[in-house]
Amino acid sequence: MTMHTAPTAAAERAGAPDGLPWIEDAGRIAPQDARKLSKLFFDRLQVLDEGTPEHQYTRNTLVEMNLSLVRFAAGRFRNRGSGDMEDIVQVGTVGLIKAIDRFDLSREVEFTSFAVPYIVGEIKRFFRDTTWSVHVPRRLQELRVDLAKAKEALAADLDRDATVRELAEHLGLDEQEVNEGMVAANGYTAGSLDIPAGTAGPTGGTAGGRAYAEVLGEPDPAMETVENLHTLAPLLGELGTRERRIIDMRFGQEMTQAQIGEELGISQMHVSRLLSRIIRRLRSGMLTQD
Protein backbone atom coordinates (compact mmCIF):
# COMPACT_ATOMS: atom_id res chain seq x y z
CA MET A 1 0.00 0.00 0.00
CA THR A 2 1.25 3.44 -0.87
CA MET A 3 -0.16 6.47 0.92
CA HIS A 4 0.97 10.10 0.67
CA THR A 5 -0.22 12.77 3.07
CA ALA A 6 0.85 15.70 0.87
CA PRO A 7 -0.70 16.36 -2.57
CA THR A 8 1.44 15.12 -5.47
CA ALA A 9 1.11 15.17 -9.25
CA ALA A 10 -0.22 11.63 -9.10
CA ALA A 11 -2.63 12.67 -6.35
CA GLU A 12 -3.96 15.50 -8.46
CA ARG A 13 -4.45 13.14 -11.39
CA ALA A 14 -6.29 10.75 -9.08
CA GLY A 15 -8.58 13.58 -8.00
CA ALA A 16 -7.54 13.65 -4.34
CA PRO A 17 -8.81 16.93 -2.79
CA ASP A 18 -6.62 19.12 -0.62
CA GLY A 19 -6.35 17.85 2.93
CA LEU A 20 -6.84 14.19 2.03
CA PRO A 21 -4.08 11.64 1.47
CA TRP A 22 -3.77 9.97 -1.90
CA ILE A 23 -4.18 6.23 -1.36
CA GLU A 24 -2.91 4.13 -4.21
CA ASP A 25 -4.39 0.81 -3.03
CA ALA A 26 -7.16 1.48 -0.50
CA GLY A 27 -8.13 -2.19 -0.41
CA ARG A 28 -4.90 -3.08 1.41
CA ILE A 29 -5.48 -0.74 4.36
CA ALA A 30 -5.92 -2.57 7.67
CA PRO A 31 -9.48 -2.35 9.11
CA GLN A 32 -8.38 -0.35 12.17
CA ASP A 33 -6.63 2.20 9.93
CA ALA A 34 -9.63 2.26 7.59
CA ARG A 35 -11.90 3.29 10.48
CA LYS A 36 -9.71 6.29 11.30
CA LEU A 37 -9.26 7.35 7.69
CA SER A 38 -12.97 6.91 6.93
CA LYS A 39 -13.87 9.67 9.39
CA LEU A 40 -11.50 12.02 7.60
CA PHE A 41 -12.87 11.07 4.17
CA PHE A 42 -16.52 11.34 5.27
CA ASP A 43 -15.84 14.81 6.66
CA ARG A 44 -14.53 15.93 3.26
CA LEU A 45 -17.19 14.06 1.26
CA GLN A 46 -19.97 16.15 2.81
CA VAL A 47 -18.54 19.42 1.45
CA LEU A 48 -17.48 18.25 -2.02
CA ASP A 49 -19.65 18.83 -5.09
CA GLU A 50 -21.19 15.66 -6.50
CA GLY A 51 -19.81 14.64 -9.88
CA THR A 52 -16.41 16.29 -9.41
CA PRO A 53 -13.20 14.22 -9.60
CA GLU A 54 -12.54 15.05 -5.92
CA HIS A 55 -15.95 13.75 -4.85
CA GLN A 56 -15.48 10.63 -7.00
CA TYR A 57 -12.04 9.90 -5.55
CA THR A 58 -13.24 10.38 -1.96
CA ARG A 59 -16.34 8.21 -2.42
CA ASN A 60 -14.51 5.43 -4.30
CA THR A 61 -11.73 5.34 -1.71
CA LEU A 62 -14.30 4.99 1.07
CA VAL A 63 -15.80 2.01 -0.76
CA GLU A 64 -12.43 0.31 -1.25
CA MET A 65 -11.28 0.97 2.32
CA ASN A 66 -14.42 -0.62 3.77
CA LEU A 67 -14.71 -3.70 1.56
CA SER A 68 -13.54 -5.77 4.54
CA LEU A 69 -17.00 -5.10 6.06
CA VAL A 70 -18.59 -6.70 2.98
CA ARG A 71 -16.32 -9.74 3.17
CA PHE A 72 -17.07 -10.10 6.88
CA ALA A 73 -20.84 -9.95 6.30
CA ALA A 74 -20.69 -12.22 3.23
CA GLY A 75 -18.87 -14.89 5.27
CA ARG A 76 -22.03 -15.41 7.31
CA PHE A 77 -23.79 -16.61 4.14
CA ARG A 78 -21.00 -18.88 2.87
CA ASN A 79 -23.04 -22.07 3.31
CA ARG A 80 -26.39 -20.62 2.29
CA GLY A 81 -27.23 -23.04 -0.53
CA SER A 82 -27.41 -20.99 -3.73
CA GLY A 83 -25.24 -18.07 -4.60
CA ASP A 84 -21.56 -17.85 -5.49
CA MET A 85 -19.42 -15.99 -2.94
CA GLU A 86 -18.33 -13.55 -5.65
CA ASP A 87 -21.98 -12.72 -6.34
CA ILE A 88 -22.67 -12.31 -2.62
CA VAL A 89 -19.72 -9.94 -2.22
CA GLN A 90 -20.87 -7.89 -5.21
CA VAL A 91 -24.38 -7.62 -3.78
CA GLY A 92 -22.98 -6.71 -0.37
CA THR A 93 -20.90 -3.98 -2.00
CA VAL A 94 -24.12 -2.40 -3.26
CA GLY A 95 -25.25 -2.23 0.36
CA LEU A 96 -21.93 -0.66 1.35
CA ILE A 97 -22.30 2.04 -1.31
CA LYS A 98 -25.83 2.82 -0.12
CA ALA A 99 -24.53 3.13 3.45
CA ILE A 100 -21.75 5.50 2.34
CA ASP A 101 -24.21 7.70 0.43
CA ARG A 102 -26.56 7.89 3.44
CA PHE A 103 -24.07 8.18 6.29
CA ASP A 104 -23.87 11.43 8.21
CA LEU A 105 -21.10 12.14 10.72
CA SER A 106 -23.59 14.06 12.87
CA ARG A 107 -25.27 10.73 13.72
CA GLU A 108 -22.48 10.14 16.26
CA VAL A 109 -22.39 6.45 15.41
CA GLU A 110 -19.52 4.38 14.05
CA PHE A 111 -19.74 3.84 10.30
CA THR A 112 -19.21 0.10 10.76
CA SER A 113 -22.32 -0.13 12.96
CA PHE A 114 -24.27 1.91 10.41
CA ALA A 115 -23.07 0.01 7.32
CA VAL A 116 -23.36 -3.65 8.34
CA PRO A 117 -27.21 -3.67 8.45
CA TYR A 118 -27.27 -2.17 4.92
CA ILE A 119 -24.82 -4.81 3.66
CA VAL A 120 -26.58 -7.75 5.35
CA GLY A 121 -29.98 -6.45 4.23
CA GLU A 122 -28.86 -6.31 0.59
CA ILE A 123 -27.46 -9.87 0.77
CA LYS A 124 -30.65 -11.20 2.38
CA ARG A 125 -32.68 -9.50 -0.34
CA PHE A 126 -30.47 -11.22 -2.92
CA PHE A 127 -31.21 -14.65 -1.45
CA ARG A 128 -34.90 -13.85 -1.12
CA ASP A 129 -35.13 -12.82 -4.75
CA THR A 130 -32.98 -15.61 -6.23
CA THR A 131 -33.85 -18.69 -4.18
CA TRP A 132 -37.54 -18.74 -5.13
CA SER A 133 -38.81 -17.44 -8.46
CA VAL A 134 -42.08 -16.32 -6.82
CA HIS A 135 -43.00 -15.56 -3.22
CA VAL A 136 -44.22 -18.73 -1.48
CA PRO A 137 -45.24 -19.04 2.21
CA ARG A 138 -42.54 -20.63 4.39
CA ARG A 139 -44.87 -23.53 5.25
CA LEU A 140 -45.07 -24.50 1.58
CA GLN A 141 -41.34 -23.96 1.07
CA GLU A 142 -40.66 -26.52 3.80
CA LEU A 143 -43.32 -28.87 2.36
CA ARG A 144 -41.52 -28.82 -1.00
CA VAL A 145 -38.43 -30.30 0.68
CA ASP A 146 -40.50 -32.99 2.46
CA LEU A 147 -42.26 -33.89 -0.79
CA ALA A 148 -38.98 -34.22 -2.66
CA LYS A 149 -37.66 -36.64 -0.01
CA ALA A 150 -40.93 -38.60 0.04
CA LYS A 151 -41.00 -38.91 -3.77
CA GLU A 152 -37.45 -40.25 -3.80
CA ALA A 153 -38.11 -42.76 -1.00
CA LEU A 154 -41.39 -44.05 -2.47
CA ALA A 155 -39.97 -44.26 -5.99
CA ALA A 156 -37.25 -46.58 -4.68
CA ASP A 157 -39.83 -48.79 -2.90
CA LEU A 158 -42.50 -48.80 -5.62
CA ASP A 159 -40.21 -48.67 -8.66
CA ARG A 160 -42.45 -45.91 -10.05
CA ASP A 161 -43.55 -42.38 -9.25
CA ALA A 162 -45.83 -42.17 -6.20
CA THR A 163 -49.38 -40.93 -6.54
CA VAL A 164 -50.73 -37.95 -4.59
CA ARG A 165 -52.62 -40.34 -2.29
CA GLU A 166 -49.48 -42.37 -1.58
CA LEU A 167 -47.50 -39.22 -0.87
CA ALA A 168 -50.23 -37.98 1.47
CA GLU A 169 -50.28 -41.27 3.40
CA HIS A 170 -46.48 -41.34 3.62
CA LEU A 171 -46.33 -37.79 5.02
CA GLY A 172 -49.52 -38.01 7.12
CA LEU A 173 -51.10 -35.12 5.21
CA ASP A 174 -54.31 -34.45 3.32
CA GLU A 175 -54.20 -34.88 -0.45
CA GLN A 176 -55.11 -31.19 -0.78
CA GLU A 177 -52.01 -30.19 1.19
CA VAL A 178 -49.85 -32.38 -1.03
CA ASN A 179 -51.35 -30.75 -4.13
CA GLU A 180 -50.64 -27.29 -2.68
CA GLY A 181 -47.05 -28.30 -2.01
CA MET A 182 -46.59 -29.61 -5.56
CA VAL A 183 -48.01 -26.40 -7.04
CA ALA A 184 -45.79 -24.30 -4.76
CA ALA A 185 -42.73 -26.28 -5.90
CA ASN A 186 -43.26 -24.81 -9.37
CA GLY A 187 -42.30 -21.45 -7.91
CA TYR A 188 -38.81 -22.66 -7.01
CA THR A 189 -37.47 -22.34 -10.55
CA ALA A 190 -38.69 -20.34 -13.51
CA GLY A 191 -38.77 -21.31 -17.15
CA SER A 192 -37.30 -19.09 -19.83
CA LEU A 193 -39.59 -16.56 -21.48
CA ASP A 194 -37.83 -17.43 -24.74
CA ILE A 195 -39.38 -20.94 -24.78
CA PRO A 196 -42.09 -21.23 -27.51
CA ALA A 197 -45.59 -20.93 -26.07
CA GLY A 198 -46.51 -24.40 -27.34
CA THR A 199 -43.55 -26.17 -25.72
CA ALA A 200 -44.55 -29.41 -24.00
CA GLY A 201 -41.29 -30.05 -22.19
CA PRO A 202 -37.65 -28.94 -21.80
CA THR A 203 -36.64 -30.37 -25.20
CA GLY A 204 -39.98 -30.54 -27.00
CA GLY A 205 -42.21 -27.88 -28.37
CA THR A 206 -43.76 -26.31 -31.38
CA ALA A 207 -41.08 -25.36 -33.85
CA GLY A 208 -41.26 -21.74 -34.85
CA GLY A 209 -43.90 -20.92 -32.20
CA ARG A 210 -44.04 -17.47 -30.64
CA ALA A 211 -42.06 -17.15 -27.40
CA TYR A 212 -43.87 -16.25 -24.19
CA ALA A 213 -41.91 -12.99 -24.06
CA GLU A 214 -43.46 -11.91 -27.37
CA VAL A 215 -47.02 -12.13 -26.07
CA LEU A 216 -46.50 -10.71 -22.59
CA GLY A 217 -47.41 -7.12 -21.86
CA GLU A 218 -44.95 -4.74 -20.23
CA PRO A 219 -45.52 -2.46 -17.25
CA ASP A 220 -45.53 1.19 -18.20
CA PRO A 221 -42.50 2.71 -16.39
CA ALA A 222 -44.31 6.06 -16.33
CA MET A 223 -47.04 4.61 -14.11
CA GLU A 224 -44.71 4.28 -11.12
CA THR A 225 -43.61 7.89 -11.60
CA VAL A 226 -47.24 9.04 -11.66
CA GLU A 227 -48.03 7.06 -8.51
CA ASN A 228 -44.96 8.45 -6.72
CA LEU A 229 -45.79 12.04 -7.69
CA HIS A 230 -49.39 11.55 -6.59
CA THR A 231 -48.15 10.36 -3.18
CA LEU A 232 -45.47 13.04 -2.95
CA ALA A 233 -47.63 16.06 -3.77
CA PRO A 234 -49.44 16.39 -0.40
CA LEU A 235 -46.18 15.71 1.46
CA LEU A 236 -44.47 18.57 -0.38
CA GLY A 237 -47.40 20.79 0.58
CA GLU A 238 -46.63 20.13 4.25
CA LEU A 239 -43.07 21.49 3.90
CA GLY A 240 -42.16 25.02 4.83
CA THR A 241 -41.50 27.68 2.19
CA ARG A 242 -37.70 27.41 2.44
CA GLU A 243 -37.79 23.62 2.40
CA ARG A 244 -39.90 23.59 -0.78
CA ARG A 245 -37.56 26.12 -2.34
CA ILE A 246 -34.52 23.94 -1.54
CA ILE A 247 -36.22 20.88 -3.07
CA ASP A 248 -37.12 22.89 -6.19
CA MET A 249 -33.57 24.22 -6.59
CA ARG A 250 -31.97 20.79 -6.07
CA PHE A 251 -34.30 18.57 -8.08
CA GLY A 252 -36.28 21.00 -10.22
CA GLN A 253 -33.51 23.35 -11.30
CA GLU A 254 -30.76 20.73 -10.73
CA MET A 255 -28.58 23.19 -8.84
CA THR A 256 -25.57 21.89 -6.89
CA GLN A 257 -25.48 22.13 -3.12
CA ALA A 258 -22.84 24.85 -3.40
CA GLN A 259 -25.08 26.92 -5.69
CA ILE A 260 -28.01 26.49 -3.33
CA GLY A 261 -25.82 27.61 -0.44
CA GLU A 262 -24.81 30.77 -2.32
CA GLU A 263 -28.46 31.49 -3.17
CA LEU A 264 -29.60 31.11 0.45
CA GLY A 265 -26.49 32.55 2.10
CA ILE A 266 -25.64 29.37 4.02
CA SER A 267 -22.81 26.83 3.86
CA GLN A 268 -22.87 23.81 1.57
CA MET A 269 -22.68 21.52 4.61
CA HIS A 270 -25.80 23.21 6.01
CA VAL A 271 -27.55 22.64 2.67
CA SER A 272 -26.49 18.98 2.75
CA ARG A 273 -27.96 18.51 6.23
CA LEU A 274 -31.19 20.30 5.31
CA LEU A 275 -31.59 18.15 2.19
CA SER A 276 -30.95 14.96 4.16
CA ARG A 277 -33.54 15.94 6.74
CA ILE A 278 -36.16 16.92 4.13
CA ILE A 279 -35.62 13.74 2.08
CA ARG A 280 -35.85 11.54 5.18
CA ARG A 281 -39.14 13.25 6.06
CA LEU A 282 -40.56 12.76 2.55
CA ARG A 283 -39.34 9.15 2.33
CA SER A 284 -40.87 8.38 5.71
CA GLY A 285 -44.16 9.92 4.62
CA MET A 286 -44.24 7.89 1.41
CA LEU A 287 -43.48 4.63 3.23
CA THR A 288 -46.27 5.34 5.72
CA GLN A 289 -48.77 5.81 2.89
CA ASP A 290 -47.71 2.67 0.99
pLDDT band, very low/low/confident/very high, at 96 (cuts 50, 70, 90)? very high
Is 213 a domain residue?
Answer: no
**Cα separation, 63 vs 55, whole angstroms:** 12
**Domain stop point among 131, 157, 172:** 131
Position 206 scores a pLDDT of: 45
Question: Average pLDDT, whole number, for the chain?
Answer: 77
- Classify residue 239 as exposed, middle or buried by CB count within 10 Å of its CB (0-12, 13-18, 19+): middle
* 195 found inside a domain: no
pLDDT digits (tens, 9 = 90+) for 123-134: 888 876 665 555
Please tell me whether residues 152 and 32 are part of one structural domain: no
For residue 267, what are the contacts with CB-CB under 8 A and spacing of at least 6? 261
pLDDT at 57 over 60: yes
Q: What is the largest CA-CA distance in the chain?
A: 83
Position 33 scores a pLDDT of 84
Highest mean pLDDT among 22-26, 57-61, 174-178, 278-282: 57-61
| 32/113 same-domain check | yes
Evaluate whether residue 193 is within a structural domain.
no
The answer to the question of residue 206 being in a domain is no
- Give the pLDDT confidence score for residue 98 in this predicted structure: 92
Q: Which pLDDT score, from 0 to 100, does residue 7 have?
A: 40
| 278: CATH | 1.10.10.10
Nearest to 98 by CA among 116, 118, 128: 118
Instruction: List pLDDT tens digits, range 240-275.
Output: 888 989 988 888 888 899 899 999 999 989 988 998
Q: Which domain covers residue 274, as residue numbers?
A: 221-289
Residues 180, 126 share a domain: no
Residues 170, 267, single domain; the answer is no
Q: Distance (Å, rounded) from C-alpha 161 to C-alpha 170?
A: 13
Does residue 80 form part of some domain?
A: yes
Q: How many percent of the chain have pLDDT more than 70?
A: 70
User: pLDDT higher for 49 or 191?
Assistant: 49
* Residues 118-126, mean pLDDT to the nearest whole number: 87
**More reliable by pLDDT, 131 or 233:** 233
- What percent of the chain is modeled with pLDDT above 90? 12
Number of domains within the chain? 3
Across the range 74-80, mean pLDDT stands at: 76
The answer to whether residue 205 scores a pLDDT higher than 80 is no
Q: Is residue 215 part of a domain?
A: no
User: Does 149 lie in the same domain as 127?
Assistant: no
Q: What is the mean pLDDT of residues 157-172?
A: 89
What pLDDT score was predicted for residue 62? 93
Question: Under a CB-based contact definition with an 8 Å cutoff, are residues 45 and 55 in contact?
Answer: yes
User: Under a CB-based contact definition with an 8 Å cutoff, are residues 191 and 150 in contact?
Assistant: no
